[in-house]
């Protein structure tokens, strides 16, 4: 009846299930049974793989963070133009809408970080990595003469990540007028000022006409 799975597979499933359950019920109000339900198992089975639920939740957060960061890196990996790179990175740091699971999970984490040192460390690491990512883009752009930085790259990078973070919270909290598009513009306003570049994304040479979308 129930498909038995290998240890590794099941643990992967459980991490995903835990992510879903936490987004829905909250990092530290989620119940063992809710995780089990998301995984299509009973609480006993979950406990068999993770005797302590907290370990599972931590791994799930870790995985979520990692995925979030890797996705951003991947999105700009094969782009060379610093302007496009910067604009795209800003976009990729914001939730698409209030339901965005990845960002909601990060917000959950932020709330708990004041009390939970491990969660705090996790978030701090993510922040610093994102800062480095922006710093790299900025430095390269400056070296190419595309950007004229109005402050040192670390300052700018820290502020950019901070802005993303904060607007993520606002969007997830359903600010009535401040959506992803507005947030992008707000951050770009700063980015333009501080890079001395208008940041009008030069269009990507279209590979095939039908692959293009009208301005979303």
Partner DNA sequence: GACCTTGTTGAATTTCGATTCAACAGCCAC
Partner DNA sequence: GTGGCTGTTGAATCGAAATTCAACAAGGTC
Residue 200 CB, shortest distance to DNA, in Å, is 52
Report whether 119 contacts 109 (CB < 8 A).
yes
Closest-CA residue to 169 (of 88, 91, 108): 108
Q: Is 169 in the site for a second copy (CB under 8 A)?
A: yes
Burial class (CB in 10 A: 0-12, 13-18, 19+), 104: buried
Q: Which is nearer to DNA, 17 or 171 (CB)?
A: 17
Residue count at the site for a second copy (CB under 8 A)? Answer: 50
Q: Is 147 in the site for a second copy (CB under 8 A)?
A: no
Supply the Cα-derived Rg of the chain in whole angstroms: 20
Spatial separation of the C-alpha atoms in residues 205 and 72, rounded to whole Å:
21
Eight-state DSSP code of residue 27: T
C-alpha dihedral (170, 171, 175, 181), degrees to nearest 10: 120
User: What span, in angstroms and rounded, lies between the C-alpha atoms of 161 and 131?
Assistant: 6
- Cα first-last separation, the chain: 45
Distance CA 20, CA 26 (A): 10
Q: Which of the choices a second copy, DNA, none does residue 98 contact, using the CB cut-off of 5 to 8 A by kind?
A: a second copy
| Contact pick of 3, 29, 80, 208 for a second copy (by CB under 8 A) | 29
Residue 49 binds which entry of DNA, a second copy, none, CB below 5-8 Å type-dependent:
DNA
Question: What residue 163 binds from a second copy, DNA, none (CB within 5 to 8 A, per partner kind)?
Answer: a second copy
- Applying the rule CB under 7 A, the residues between 41 and 100 that interact with DNA are 41-45, 47-49, 51, 53
The yes or no reply on residue 6 touching DNA (CB under 7 A) is yes
Q: Which CB, 92 or 110, lies closer to a second copy?
A: 110
Using the rule CB under 7 A, which residue among 12, 33, 144, 148 binds DNA?
Answer: 33
Residue 32 found at the interface with DNA (CB under 7 A): yes
CB 164 within 8 A of CB 187: yes
In the list DNA, a second copy, none, the entry touching 196 (Cβ below 5 to 8 angstroms by class) is: none
The smaller minimum CB distance to a second copy, of residues 12 and 125, is found at: 125
Which residues of the chain form contacts with DNA (CB under 7 A)? 1-7, 10, 31-33, 40-45, 47-49, 51, 53
């Amino acid at each position: 009846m129930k498909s038995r799975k290998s240890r590794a597979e099941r643990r992967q499933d459980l991490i995903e299930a835990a992510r879903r359950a936490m987004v829905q019920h909250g990092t530290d109000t989620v119940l063992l049974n809710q995780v089990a339900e998301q995984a299509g198992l009973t609480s006993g089975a979950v406990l068999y793989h993770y005797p302590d639920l907290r370990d599972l939740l931590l791994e799930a957060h870790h995985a979520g963070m990692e995925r979030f960061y890797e996705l951003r890196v991947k999105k700009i990996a094969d782009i060379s133009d610093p302007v496009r790179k910067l604009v795209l990175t800003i976009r990729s740091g914001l939730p698409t809408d209030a339901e965005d699971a990845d960002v909601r999970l990060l917000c959950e984490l932020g709330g708990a970080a004041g009390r939970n040192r491990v969660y705090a460390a996790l978030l701090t690491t993510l922040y610093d990595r994102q800062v480095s990512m922006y710093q790299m883009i900025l430095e390269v752009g400056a070296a190419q003469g595309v950007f004229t930085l109005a402050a040192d790259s670390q300052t700018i990078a820290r502020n950019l990540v901070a802005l993303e973070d904060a607007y993520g919270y606002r969007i997830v909290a359903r600010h009535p007028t401040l959506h992803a598009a507005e947030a992008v513009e707000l951050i770009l306003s700063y980015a333009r000022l501080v890079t001395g570049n208008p940041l009008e994304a030069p269009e990507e040479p279209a590979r095939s006409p039908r692959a293009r979308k009208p301005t979303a």
